[in-house]
Structure 1
Amino acid sequence: MIYASYALAFWYGIKLVLQDRDDPDGTYTPGNMVTVFFSVMTGSMNFGISSPYIEAFGISKAAGGKIFQVIDNEPVINLSKGNGAKIEDLKGNIRFKKVKFQYPSRKDVEILQGLDLEINSGETVALVGTSGCGKSTVIQLIQRFYDPIEGEIYLDGENLKDLDLTWLRSNIGVVGQEPVLFGTTVSENIKYGNPNATEDEIKTAAKKANAHSFIKALPDGYNTIVGERGAQLSGGQKQRIAIARALVRNPAILLLDEATSALDNTSEAKVQAALDSASKECTTIIVAHRLSTIRGANKIVVISQGQVVEQGTHDELMEKKNEYYNLVTTQVQSSELVQRSQTKESNAQFAEEMDNISIGTQNQLVEYEEDVKQNKKDSVIEVIKMNSPEWPQIVLGCTGSIIMGCAMPVFAILFGSILGTLALGDEEEVRRESNKFSLYFVISGIIAGLSTFFQMYMFGIAGEKLTKRIRIQMFQAMLRQEIGFFDKKSNGVGALCSKLSSDAALVQGATGQRIGTILQSIATLILSIGLSMYYEWRLGLVAMAFTPLILLATFFERRNTRNLSGHRDDSLQNSTKIAVEGVGNVRTVASLGCEDTFHNIYISELTPYLKRNLLSTHWRALVFGLSRSLMFFAYSACMYYGGYLIRDGLPYENVFKVSQALIMGTVSIANALAFAPNFTKGIEAARKVQGLLTRIPKIRDTPNSKDKKNEGNLLYSGIHFSYPTREGVPVLKGLDLTVLQGKTVALVGPSGCGKSTIIQLAERFYDPSAGEVFLDDEEFKSITLDTLRVHLGIVSQEPNLFNKTIAENIAYGDNSRVVESAEIIEAAKNANIHNFISSLPAGYETRLGEKGTQLSGGQKQRVAIARALVRNPKVLLLDEATSALDAESEKVFEIEQLSKILLYKKLWTTLKKGRTCITIAHRLTTIQDADVICVVDEGTIAEMGTHAELLEKQGLYYKLHSLQPK
């Protein structure tokens, strides 16, 4: 359209010039025509230059819609933050009055159905009942994560809705079943409970939670980084820090949701005593699956189907022989549970010994450098190689770009030629020649239009396909990496998500329209210089004198942008990690009242980038302004010198041809400069992507690896092991262990002694530093990972479920085939979860939400057990697999299911072969029937034998057994 307007302007303009040439009073001169033409051309050209940026407005509009949807969303509950009443002398009296509640995501499932409950100040009240009965919902309603659908909740006679939410939560201490720690120091994690806490108060809280001893043993003590979600600590250590975090705020109300579920026997006895001591100073509400931990409660409340069905003290409820009595009796598996005759003195002495044992296994977080071969060639060719499958589109796009690059110099020739026609004497000849060049303008416009279409369209297709492919390859590469790769702080969830999102998209910045613009500029520059030398080399040399200045401006812009890109990526990755951590653990953040804290941390990560960017932007603006002004300086010099050459006989049309050709070249370079930030960022992103894609996992199949039929015999021989992030701290120290086919081996011992490490070595998440692990006499490294892991079933203490349906989550247990619905249902029945699933409106098609948040802890654990069973594994690995089960489920599961798995002779008839089983247990009642019980102490097997044999020895196991809660 622009070229068509040129043709029309010259065709009509020359007509007006010729008319006024014959008119004595005519005022329309060639100068008028050129002035009008350049006014229109400059406006059109600048609009054309800005048009690629219109894409940015479209992207911004789409992103803005999502952003403003979040910003403009009015939170119903959170509006009371900083608003509302504050109770001067908070006592802690809580009352539920006819409370009805359904979760917003499952409005057709009634959780609480007219619950009435009264909790007096200073009381310790325990909530018990089956999974899904509403115990944890009560805890969440007290924190006001949700409001009741009907009914009211009162605190000291005041409706919770009328209270200042920030003040309310600051007076509540919470310890959850799956404690969430943040990727900072131990001290900062505890301080999240009370931002104003002094160092002494932090240590006092840690001592109350039995955490001070192991924290002191860490290399950096309270300043030790705990890793993302506390990954560098054992479950018991995380739980104790979470308890310290709750206690440091001296809460008026203490909420404990199975707060000791992850603790070993040693720690549990002391932590339970600490919690009992802390609960005397405040109103305490305990959600308990293990009823032995709440016998001393002032009041025990039994909840069933969203209502209180029974309440009273332990003795009162046991006398009634009703709901509570049935729950208690299901937890008595054998008479051995009550045969504990150790004195308090010996218990206390042994507990101190256990603390000393666990200290030795602590570690220092050491960032280890990886031998990753980075592709440091930041050339366009390296990036284009990644786009090679789209070579037909790229070739067409490049062709279009080159043709479009030639369009500007061709315009210069046509422009000069059409002005030259005015020098012809014959009017008819002038008309004929001007019509001819006007037609050439139209033809040039058509060619330019088609070229631009192919340039944009083809590069767009190639770029989007490249982005998709890179994201797929990056995600595959991430999933291929060994577990030690994810232990590294720089490879946290937020950082990897940021790379997957931004780096893959930025690579397109080094291809697509950016490469098209560069090729277009190169073509323009080459042809412009060639034409200027051809038509008048002296004038061409004058114009070319400005080229080095333009190139210098380009160089500074490129270098400046590249430095900015590196800092930008680091800053945005760090801020993304904070955002992922804060939003992913929003319940914990909200309960701690740390929303502003995380907001400020997020801002602090962005601020350095902003400052660097502002400084760099000034410099970029200066360079960019200089490059744009250079074309006017070049034009001025060309016109000045061209005047002298015209006087000496040079046709004036050649001055226009040479000057316009060079000026258009200058404009093209300026255009390329405008896209330089995307280009340099794309090159940098491509280097990072290549680094990840070419990284060789440290645990992988070798060319000699072979498939192996798994019979289930495991042998650990002389195993020494340290985690990659803390190589100076040995976890296993020459461990020897034999696990025979069909047998059950139970691992017991204090937190941090190496139990979970043994299971991770069985999965080959890590390789030992020394020693070998064998499967059926074959060394692990000689077996393919697929063959090894396909026969392993694992149920962890904190099971991970996916945001899929329940059926899909269970079917994930075996991805080598399509798991039939009947198998899924059978596995769910075996895990005692079928009845619950069937009661849901959508049944097995119910979506679980992110990390399975729609289920209680016990329900998640049972789904994970079903997922392991559907695989029908040869080796079953249980890492405290029943820690989150309620009494009723645990009874059914352990007696009817686990005993069948653990005891080969009693396996149910549907299983033709026995399973090898390795189980970790803090509750020794769950592993008394194991074939072999191994006591792990300081990275070696200290004792092994059956339950009865180890009790007879009266050694380490006997002491552990005596510490079980009565």
Structure 2
Amino acid sequence: MAAKKTDGDQDGKAADKKQALDVKFQSIDDPADPDEAVDASSFTGLYRFATQPQKYVIVIGAIIALISGALQPLNNLLFGDLTQTIIEYSQACFIPSSTECGAAGDNLLAGIKHFALWNSLNGVAIMITAYLATEAFSYNAIKQVFKVRSLYLQRLLNKDIPWFDVHNSGDFSSRMADDLSKFEDGIGEKVPLFLTLQGSFISAITLALVKGWELALICLISLPVSLIAVGLIAFLTTKFSKKELDAYAEAGSIAEEVLTSIRTVIGYDKSLIFARNNNIRRHFFEGIGYGLLWLCIFSSYGLAFWYGVKLMLDGNPVYTPGNMITVFFSVMTGSMNFGVASPFIEAFATAKAAGGKIFHTIDTSPTINQSKNSGAKLDQVRGNIKLQNVKFQYPSRKDVPILQGIDLEIQAGDTVALVGSSGCGKSTVLQLVQRFYDPLQGQVFIDGKDVKDLDLSWYRQSIGVVSQEPVLFGTTIAENIRYGNKEATEQDIVQAAKRANAHRFIKGLPEGYHTLVGERGAQLSGGQKQRIAIARALVRNPAILLLDEATSALDTNSEAKVQAALDRASENRTTIIVAHRLSTIRGANKIVVISDGKVVEQGTHEDLMELKKEYYTLVTTQVQGSEKFENIDETKEKKILDYAEDDDEDFAPRKEIDEEAEVDNYVKTASLWSIVKLNSPEWLSLVLGCIGAGAMGTAFPIFAILFGNILQVLQDIDSNPDYVRQETNKYCLYFVLAGVLSMCATFLQMYMFGRAGQKLTLRIRSRMFDALLKQEMGYFDRKENGVGSLCAKLSNEAAQATGQRIGTIVNSLATLSLSVFLAVYYEWRLGLVAMVFVPLIIVATFLQRRQMSQESDDYKESLQKSTKIAVEAVGSIRTVVSLGCEETFLNLYINELTPHIKKCLRNTHARAFILGFSRAIMIFAFSACLVYGGYLIKNDNVQYGDVFKVAQALIMGTVSIANSLAFTPNLEKGLVAARTVMNMINRIPKVSNSQNALIKKTADGNVDYSQIRFAYPTRDSIQVLKGLDLSVLQGKTVALVGPSGCGKSTIIQLLERFYDPASGTVSLDKDDIKSITLDSLRSHLGIVSQEPNLFSRSIAENIAYGDNSRQATEVEIIEAARKANIHNFIAHLPKGYKTKLGEKGTQLSGGQKQRIAIARALIRQPKVLLLDEATSALDAESEKVVQEALDNAKQGRTCLTIAHRLTTIQDADLICVVNDGVIVEQGNHTDLIERKGLYYRLHAHQH
């Protein structure tokens, strides 16, 4: 009862957390509003999932951001008035003939006080409004992204199975880790910053038009060109971003497939290269666009000064130096903010591209409605099943008919077995009964009700499923069983495990039912996984039980007991069995033979044997070779069964997760410099990029010099107009040259860093991926290295470790350094006052960086853990759906994210304040400089042009630092990512090539195991092999038999060097395999495992992957397929060998997948053939032919085979019985039978 209470408490907590964070999911029945569901083509569409109160806050925040921006140009008005006052003072006091110096001095002091007071008050107002706007957007962005993440996973889990047939679930790991981060980046604090810039732009232009419309219009000539440039940039960025995201998603899908099937190798650089090329093109056009933008801005400065001075010289009374400065700075402020907004536009465009794909998935309604309360619920499911004229073909292979008008009726409580050749449609019938698919024609009835009319979520709770390849989830054994029934108590779980013959081996584990099974159950043997899956099905006490090769992975010791448990479980409930091993279904009420998608025979075993047709042929084919050993009397059989019940050997797990972190050779700290070194092949691009960034950084201080010189010239506008005109022309030309410099510098910075960054991204992803593939298997056994977590690192960290960050740093340093130099050079006293504010800016930067550092680490860990949960659920969607655990996994995902989300919400206040402070400090600094500069002008005869140069240089340097501060979160993410990247790339695998490793080009095939002791590294307290000795001679076939979990698969894994033994030696041709390079060792080994791992590529590519050392020819591929008895099937497919297999080979039956895996092993032409239950999934007819093919393939090769079905290894040269980590018997089949030891008992038990 305690377990049940805990489960309920967890559900309650999850509900409380969802409510606290306003996670209100829309019903799957009610798709998002059609108008909003459109897309993220309009930016407001990104906020479609915000609640109404959140939308109000966002609107208010947007208004406040616009007000904050609108306040900034008021500084220009105050600055213009002060400039006019200073020039009037200079004209009165520095011109010898002037007699008005005293009054002008009093006016100067009054003007300085007025400027200082109102400018400071304006700074305070800007700080407060910036804080409020940033807080509003950041707080709500965190909530909304949390909701979108959760809703995205919810919608994924509620998609129907046909949808997953045409979409790779691996894409979604990239979407959740990378695309949603970009989406978050585009709706958070960058939005108020952008709105502030736009508010400033509008306000500044309005002020300029009011103070001097004629000059303002001349200054605005460049604006249409700027608008066109920005629009073009946004269009191209969106276009190339979509292509880039698609390519990275494909790469993420490949990565997930490979990491899920880590014992098989595949390359994935092709997708990355496509993404890189698109990104480089994007940076090229961005560089040109932004370069032209800055050329227009600086040219407009020159034009503005030239025309302003012309208006004054022409005697226009509206224009004074003060008015001209107000108009000019207003236009400059507007234009600059327009230009500075460009990176934000890129972030928004990327967010729109990412959001569009996310929303498309959310908005797409499944063709099969799986939501709760969407159909009828029967009072009770009795289990009458009827298929009426059902025709079906899979959506991804519409030209291949599977069922062709099948009619089948099953009475409630009956046990019905479906038999037939591999791929005939048996498993398809089970999927239609679960309503994974709807038939193209005909109907499926449950208790007389069309299954389409039933509440699907409720209906599936009445079905228990045990599939051929059981999927367990990365949690405890108890929780895996509880997935079958969320209300199950501990007593229910134990009882179900006992009925599935799993209780004893579970209790033998140190942690018992609390043992973690690893991702997809990787820490257990196949038989152990199968029994836990059976327990999971039994614990829900279903009305309908579907068994798809439920005992295929069990050893002889366990099979009869589990089969007996299944027979008992089948009582009083409808049971449909798909079986290749016909001995397991003889007691069925009805046996249905399916051929070519139709029922060709049905009846009891005896009836069908009397017909002597298809079923008779299948049975007689399967029993050949074992008949002479079937005459065991009932007494012996009873003793054997008793022996088996008392002696369950499955007490040792294959491997077990350890909670303690492994001590790795990790880089503890990393900086951007470590990434720069990784980028060294692009040194020329980096150097040119730094030159461009540095040159761009000097543009603003150069502007300050030119500006100060022009202001100094205006002093003589009345006394020497010709001089003023000549100097103005010169300095305005310099402005245009500064624009050309900025254009070239911007292009160099953006294109060169972008080009180098994308090549680095490709290199990082490839090296991280390559580093992962080189790790020992123990690395992947650790729970923090699940597929979802590793995929998140591949997609997120590689992207964060690159970009424009180095350019931003160089740019800002150049601006600040030159600004400080100019300040000290022109007036050191004023420079010292200005430098007082530099530490304040640095402190603000430091505070935000320290906060972001901790936040980035927490967020990365939280995101990787939650993505691991999501990828595991989506990757095993059939199991999740059949168990009805969609909501359970969604709650696990939410619970993993929630603590970090709450922490982020608390931290938004400090971040908003720091950002507001960073904007206000510029205004305070400018006020202090001009106030002190005014006193220097009056009291020390300092040239006012120098004062303006120092003040303007300071403000430009501060602006540059403040803009960098806005991107501090990105910089910190880059540093955190750099650490993660370098840790992964530099990790030294525990199993690797020795320093003088031998490249073994040829091999004879002699294999020796000497005194092997081994325990899996994540649970070294449990010895799996305990001094094992074994010799396999060249060309001989050695079979390993024994109870599940006794160490048979471990023996093969040690030969593959997936692990190294704790002591002892494994040798190939007398060479210790540790002295042989891993590649050359494995090139001599061909393996076919119990659960074949195929990739979402064509059949030809999957077979060719068997030998990656060369390009396999089409003739070789076909020949390998013929040997594996799969050629005829492939040849009859519409696309033949070019047929895409679907993710994890889901478009094929188990037998078809296994035969392709066999072909993949044979194409390598290995010297040593390793067969781990290679024929376990094949039907009787195929097994015989494939077994003959394997027998032929063994000729001239050493073969090490594992088998539970002893009939398949009777002809082996040597049979070794493994028990408790050692070989207890060995000999040929006849010898071992005559000894009447353990092998005899196992064999007799199977017949």
User: Residue 910 of structure 1 aligns with which residue?
Assistant: none
Q: Do residues 123 (structure 1) and 414 (structure 2) align?
A: yes
Partner Cα distance (1:718, 1:706) in 2: 23
The Cα offsets for residues 7-36 of structure 1, whole Å up to 9 and x where unpaired, read as 22222222333344xx7xx34322222222
Q: Is the 8 A contact 1:217 1:362 kept in 2?
A: no
What residue is the counterpart of 1:435 in the other structure? 729
- The equivalent of 2:850 in structure 1 is 559
Identity among equivalent pairs (%): 66
Separation of aligned partners in 1, 2:1032 and 2:628:
26
Give, in whole Å, the separation in 1 of the partners of 2:1176 and 2:950: 83
1:731 and 2:1024 aligned:
yes
Q: Distance in 1 between matches of 2:327 and 2:1033?
A: 94
How far apart are the structure 1 equivalents of 2:383 and 2:735? Answer: 85
Aligned to 1:209: 500
What residue in structure 2 maps to residue 797 of structure 1?
Answer: 1090
- Conservation of the 8 A alpha-carbon contact between 2:525 and 2:654: no
Equivalent position to 2:585, from 256, 275, 294: 294
Moved more, 39-48 or 250-259: 39-48
Cα contact 2:463–2:545 (8 A) shared by 1:
yes
**CA deviation after TM superposition for structure 1 residue 368, in Å:** 5.5
8 Å contact from structure 2 (residues 1154, 1174) kept in 1: yes
Question: Which of 826, 845, 848 is the matching residue for 2:1119?
Answer: 826
What residue is the counterpart of 1:87 in the other structure?
378
Find the counterpart in structure 1 of residue 225 from structure 2. Answer: none
Aligned to 1:757: 1050
Question: Partner of 2:657: helix, strand, or coil?
Answer: coil
Say yes or no: does 1:651 pair with 2:933. no
Q: Is the 8 A contact 2:443 2:450 kept in 1?
A: yes
Per-residue deviation, residues 594-620 of structure 1 (Å, max 9, x unmatched):
112212222222222222222233222
The verdict on how the C-alpha distance between 1:666 and 1:270 changes in structure 2, with shifts beyond 3 A counting, is: same
- 1-structure distance, mates of 2:333, 2:679: 36
Q: Which amino acid aligns with 1:177?
A: Q
Partner SS for 1:74: coil
Judged with a 3 Å threshold, the aligned counterparts in structure 2 of structure 1 residues 771 and 431 are, in CA distance, closer, same or farther, namely same
- The count of aligned residue pairs is 946
Within the alignment, does 1:505 sit opposite 2:790 as a pair?
A: no
Measured against aligned partners, the alpha-carbon deviations of 1:475-508 in whole angstroms (never above 9, x if no partner) come to 1111111222211212221111111111111110
Q: Distance in 1 between matches of 2:710 and 2:620?
A: 104
In proportion to residue count, which structure has more helix?
A: 2
| Residues 1:845 and 1:188: Cα distance change in structure 2 (over 3 Å) | same
Amino acid at match of 1:468: L
Structure 1 equivalent of residue 952 of structure 2: 660
- The alignment partner of 1:78 has SS state of coil
1:535-555 C-alpha deviation (Å, 9 max, x unpaired): 211111111111110111111
8 Å CA contact retained: 2:1005, 2:1033: yes
Alignment of 1:82-481 (within 5 A): 82-334=373-625, 335-341=627-633, 343=635, 344-355=637-648, 357-360=649-652, 364-367=656-659, 369-424=661-716, 425-481=719-775
- Equivalent of 1:694, from 964, 967, 986? 986
Task: Measure the CA separation in 2 of the matches of 1:543 and 1:774.
Answer: 74
Shift of 1:362: 6.6
Q: Distance in 1 between matches of 2:610 and 2:1181?
A: 19
CA contact 1:290–1:886 (8 Å) conserved in 2:
yes
Aligned residue number for residue 64 of structure 2: none
CA contact (8 A) 1:408 1:524 kept: yes
Q: Does 1:496 align with 2:790?
A: yes
1:836: Cα distance to partner?
A: 1.1
Residue identity matched to 2:298: Y
SS state at 2:430 partner = helix
Deviation at 1:472, TM superposition (A): 1.2
Do 1:409 and 1:524's aligned partners in 2 also have CA atoms closer than 8 Å? yes
Amino acid at match of 2:1234: E
**1:571-650 alignment, distance < 5 Å:** 571-648=862-939, 649-650=941-942
The 8 Å contact of residues 735 and 941 in structure 1, kept in 2 or not, is answered as yes
Deviation at 1:923, TM superposition (A): 0.8
Give the deviation of 1:125 after TM superposition: 0.3
AA matched with 1:239: Q
Worse overlay, 640-649 or 251-260: 640-649
**Structure 1 pair 223–670 and aligned structure 2 pair: CA distance change class (3 A):** same
- Residue matched to 1:747: 1040
Q: Which one of the candidate residues 796, 804, 810 is aligned to 1:519?
A: 810
AA aligned opposite 1:209: A
Cα distance, 1:371 vs. partner? 4.4
Pairs within 5 Å for 1:37-48 = 37-48=328-339
User: Contact 1:94–1:153 at 8 Å: present in 2 too?
Assistant: yes
- Structure 1 alignment gaps of length 5 or more: 908-913
Alpha carbons of 1:361 and 1:42: their partners in 2 closer, same or farther (altered >3 Å)? closer
Q: Is the 8 A contact 2:657 2:782 kept in 1?
A: no
**Partners in 1 of 2:839 and 2:1192 — Cα distance?**
83
CA apart distance, 1:707: 3.0
How far is 1:369 from its partner?
A: 4.2
How far apart, CA to CA, are the structure 2 residues paired with 1:48 and 1:78? Answer: 49
CA distance in structure 2 between the aligned counterparts of 1:352 and 1:783, rounded to whole angstroms: 44
Secondary structure of the structure 2 residue equivalent to 1:96:
strand
Distance 1:483 1:313 in 2: 47
Instruction: Summarize deviations over 1:786-819 as a string: whole Å, max 9, x none.
Output: 2222121111110111222212222222223332
Question: How many angstroms does 1:130 deviate by?
Answer: 0.3
Q: Which moved more, 1:589-598 or 1:42-51?
A: 42-51
CA distance in 2, matches of 1:80, 1:559: 45
Tell me if the contact between 1:201 and 1:248 (Cα under 8 Å) persists in the aligned partners: yes
Q: Which segment drifts farther, 234-243 or 758-767?
A: 758-767
Which residue in the other structure is 2:1061 paired with?
768
Is contact 1:383–1:683 with CA below 8 Å preserved after alignment? no
TM-score, normalization: structure 2? 0.75
Structure 1 residue 876 displacement after superposition = 1.0
Give CA deviations for 1:625-655 in whole Å, capped at 9, x if unaligned.
1111101001111121122112122222222
Could you tell me whether the CA contact under 8 Å between 1:763 and 1:789 is conserved in 2?
yes
Instruction: Tell me, in whole angstroms, the C-alpha distance in 2 between the residues paired with 1:654 and 1:821.
Output: 79
2:369 corresponds in structure 1 to 78
Contact 2:518-2:656 within 8 A present in 1 as well: no
Q: Which amino acid is the alignment partner of residue 1238 of structure 2?
A: L
**Does residue 921 of structure 1 match 2:1203?**
yes
Inter-partner Cα distance in structure 2 for 1:723 and 1:961: 30
Matched, 1:856 2:1138: no
In the alignment, residue 761 of structure 1 is paired with which amino acid? L
Residue 787 (structure 1) aligned with residue 1102 (structure 2)? no
Cα shift at 1:361: 5.0
Please identify, of 675-684 and 227-236, the stretch whose mean Cα deviation from structure 2 is larger: 675-684
Query: Are the aligned partners of 1:220 and 1:364 in contact in 2 as well (CA < 8 Å)?
Result: no
774-783 vs 937-946, greater mean Cα deviation: 774-783
Q: Secondary structure at the match of 2:801?
A: helix
Report the TM-score, using the length of structure 1 for normalisation.
0.96
1:931 pairs with one of 1208, 1213, 1217: 1213
* Structure 1 counterpart of 2:312: 17
State whether residues 879 and 921 of structure 1, in contact with CA within 8 Å, keep that contact through their aligned partners in structure 2.
yes
Distance 1:362 1:851 in 2: 23
Give the conservation status (yes or no) of the 8 Å contact 1:717–1:735.
yes
8 Å CA contact 2:477, 2:516 repeated in 1: yes
Partners of 1:831 and 1:195 lie apart in 2 by 43
What is the deviation of 1:354? 3.0
Distance (Å, rounded) in 1 between the aligned partners of 2:652 and 2:901: 44
Higher mean C-alpha deviation, range 177-186 or range 685-694: 685-694
Change (3 A) 1:379 1:788: closer
Contact 2:701 2:819 in 1 (8 A): yes
Could you tell me which residue of structure 2 aligns to residue 911 of structure 1? none
The gaps in structure 2 that reach 5 residues or longer are 1-295
Match of 2:341, SS state, is helix
